[in-house]
Structure 1
Amino acid sequence: MLATAVPDPVTVEALEPLSGGASADIWSVDITDGAGIAHALILRRGVRRGDMSFGIDPRLEPLVQRAAARAAVPTAPVLAIFADDESLGTGYVMRRLPGETIPRKLLRDSVYAGARVRLTADCAAALARIHQVPLDALPALPQLPAQEQLTFLEALHRSVEAPVPTFEVGFRWLRERMPPPAPLRLVHGDFRTGNFLVGEDGLVAVLDWELAHLGDPTEDIGWLCTRAWRFGGPGEVGGFGSRADFYGAYERAGGRPVDESRVRFWEVFGALKWGIICQLQAFAHLRGDLPSVERATIGRRVTEAELDLLLLMS
């Protein structure tokens, strides 16, 4: 699998699971190649998703990541791609880069004080580059305009048969304020604190491309501004930055002028989306489909999303 990236034979020195979530099974892998050189890698395997779920085919993720890298988006280099392997399934191997992803550490620890100063500009520039990736450089990705996503979210909410009045108001608010179609761009889909690999000097890489699609680029900005991804930090953008600074840096890096009313639409959409995700996690636990303390804990956050929605719509 790694024959085109490193000299054979490859010896696996260490293998450690990092996470096992709904979107991927991730492992830290240390190898030594045939020339005696050590390599720190990440192996990411896709997991099966049902029809009522977010996420693209895991075969597409590394192709999107490579296209983003060619457009100067900071990402981990993809070394190998595998599909339908008898023992590994479908996924890819990439370089393991140094850095931290845990929001609490990034937003509070003194070692990242310098990074926090740069993070607004770094993330704005990275997002602008994502939105400039040529569409003909990408694999066939789904087109997800706002109306289609809202319809899908409503179907997910109805599937648990537990109405939430605040969500009903949110659906109505969004339907009444549907923005006009935007030129299609690559949308990361989960561009937020927690999916940024950060070093002491700033952004190292943008992670987790499984929600990539073609759509309105403002969706990424609204998602990053959603309160859930501030993790208690003071900044309205990801917990670390101000809107004015982020919008300005994004436009200077080549992003289209930011329409604040459009950002607000996608921020309300983001709060509603997060609330429904929390609800789905709760019922996956309560119904015994995927019982876990983590899902039960996330499920309790539905009320936080309700409060965010009410504040945003007021």
Structure 2
Amino acid sequence: MDLDRLAGPLAELLGSRYGPGTRVRGLCRDSGGASRLTCGFEAVDAGGRTHPLVLRTVTGGISAGAPLPHEAALMRAAAAAGVPSPEVVAAGGPDGPLGVEFVVMERVEGESIPRRILRDPALAEVRPRLAAQCGEILAAVHRIPADAVPPLDRADPLDTWRAMLDEVGEPHPVLELALRRLSRERPPSRPPAVVHGDFRNGNLIVGPDGVRAVLDWELAHIGDPVEDLGWLCVKAWRFGAEPPVGGFGGYDELLAAYEAAGGGPVDRDALRWWEAFGVARWAIICAMQARRHLSGGERSVELAALGRRVAENEWDLLHMLP
């Protein structure tokens, strides 16, 4: 992705918000995967005032998530429902001013690296409150009206991830056993709601006052809201810490806050089921990412290292399944 090529059109686009003569300064890549790129920069208006912003765009790789303009619509709807979200400044598709899918949002200051969230002394006071805050935020996520966002996928996640495992094309007996067991013991579904799909430590911006923003809506879909609660509790997102909710809190804190905020009662067995499903899902994702490296589709030490995580998740599943 040639970022220099984007600077001029981006400045012209932002001129409608910050005034004629707006310049783009410091546009550089912060992070990105095979299909999404995140870049920090500043818009400098004619008066010299700076406006810290973030650009998300596509790299040309295959994306399994929603188009970025859909993510922008989700963030706007989430903010209206009370979810802490970056303000969306602009968004567009490949036929728009940047020639690629993009969303520009205001930069929210804070920490997003999980190990720092769990260990930074500056966040020690707020850490015990994060699980409850996540419960309150997820109740707001699940209040987002489905008709306020673009059409979202409604496929059965168990069917989806069983098909994904089949596409890996290699034997994983523990994962196959887990999916069969999960299918047989599936709890009754809650009324469908907008599900974030990747709500976890790592997709949150945290400051001394708590969670300041929820990021990365590309996997949002319509489904059982307990899926989001279970995914937040997956062991991988504890990053070596002991507490089961994101490494920073307990089940009771999460569920009490979720229910008090209007999320409705959550059956503990259903939460446990969705947590186990999340572990299986993450294992399948790791296997898929490793396969990308091993097949030569994208050579990457990071992708190769994820292959080792498959066995870790299989071990966790063997302990979780009855």
Question: What displacement does 1:25 show?
Answer: 0.7
Which of 282, 296, 306 in structure 2 is aligned with 1:274? Answer: 282
The structure with the largest helix share of the pair is: 2
Give the match for residue 201 of structure 1: 209
Question: What displacement does 1:137 show?
Answer: 1.5
Q: Aligned-pair RMSD on alpha carbons?
A: 1.5
CA distance in 1: counterparts of 2:318 and 2:312, whole angstroms: 10
Give the match for residue 302 of structure 1: 310
Could you say if the C-alpha distance between residues 86 and 80 of structure 1 is closer, same or farther in structure 2, counting changes exceeding 3 Å? closer
- Determine if the alignment matches structure 1 residue 18 to structure 2 residue 30: yes
CA distance in 2: counterparts of 1:267 and 1:49, whole angstroms: 30
Which of 117, 125, 134 in structure 2 is aligned with 1:123? Answer: 134
Question: What displacement does 1:234 show?
Answer: 1.8
CA distance in 1: counterparts of 2:60 and 2:258, whole angstroms: 35
Question: What displacement does 1:49 show?
Answer: 6.1
Q: How does 1:149-168 map to 2 (within 5 A)?
A: 149-168=157-176
In the TM superposition, what whole-angstrom CA distance separates every residue of 1:197-229 from its partner, at most 9, and x where no partner exists? 001221110111101111110000000011111
In the TM superposition, what whole-angstrom CA distance separates every residue of 1:228-258 from its partner, at most 9, and x where no partner exists? 1111112111110000111001111111111
Q: Structure 1 stretches of 5 or more lacking a match?
A: none
Contact 2:146 2:193 in 1 (8 A): yes
Q: Structure 2 stretches of 5 or more lacking a match?
A: 1-12
- Determine if the alignment matches structure 1 residue 69 to structure 2 residue 79: yes
Contact 1:45 1:88 in 2 (8 A): no
Give the match for residue 285 of structure 1: 293
In the TM superposition, what whole-angstrom CA distance separates every residue of 1:41-83 from its partner, at most 9, and x where no partner exists? 0000135565xx7422322110001000111110100000121
Q: How does 1:142-291 map to 2 (within 5 A)?
A: 142-144=153-155, 148-291=156-299
More divergent stretch after superposition (28-37 vs 273-282): 28-37
CA distance in 2: counterparts of 1:244 and 1:269, whole angstroms: 20
Give the match for residue 80 of structure 1: 90
Letter in 1 for 2:29: P
In the TM superposition, what whole-angstrom CA distance separates every residue of 1:21-45 from its partner, at most 9, and x where no partner exists? 1451110011202343210000001
Could you say if the C-alpha distance between residues 66 and 112 of structure 1 is closer, same or farther in structure 2, counting changes exceeding 3 Å? same
More divergent stretch after superposition (301-310 vs 153-162): 153-162
Aligned-partner SS, 1:205? strand
CA distance in 2: counterparts of 1:3 and 1:143, whole angstroms: 39
Contact 1:112 1:199 in 2 (8 A): yes
Aligned-partner SS, 1:36? coil
CA distance in 2: counterparts of 1:4 and 1:81, whole angstroms: 13
Contact 1:233 1:239 in 2 (8 A): yes
TM-score, with structure 1 as normaliser: 0.94
Aligned-partner SS, 2:256? helix
CA distance in 1: counterparts of 2:247 and 2:48, whole angstroms: 43
- Determine if the alignment matches structure 1 residue 36 to structure 2 residue 48: yes
Contact 2:81 2:143 in 1 (8 A): yes
Could you say if the C-alpha distance between residues 117 and 181 of structure 1 is closer, same or farther in structure 2, counting changes exceeding 3 Å? closer
Contact 2:126 2:209 in 1 (8 A): yes
Percent identical: 45
Which of 63, 66, 80 in structure 2 is aligned with 1:56? Answer: 66
Question: What displacement does 1:158 show?
Answer: 1.4
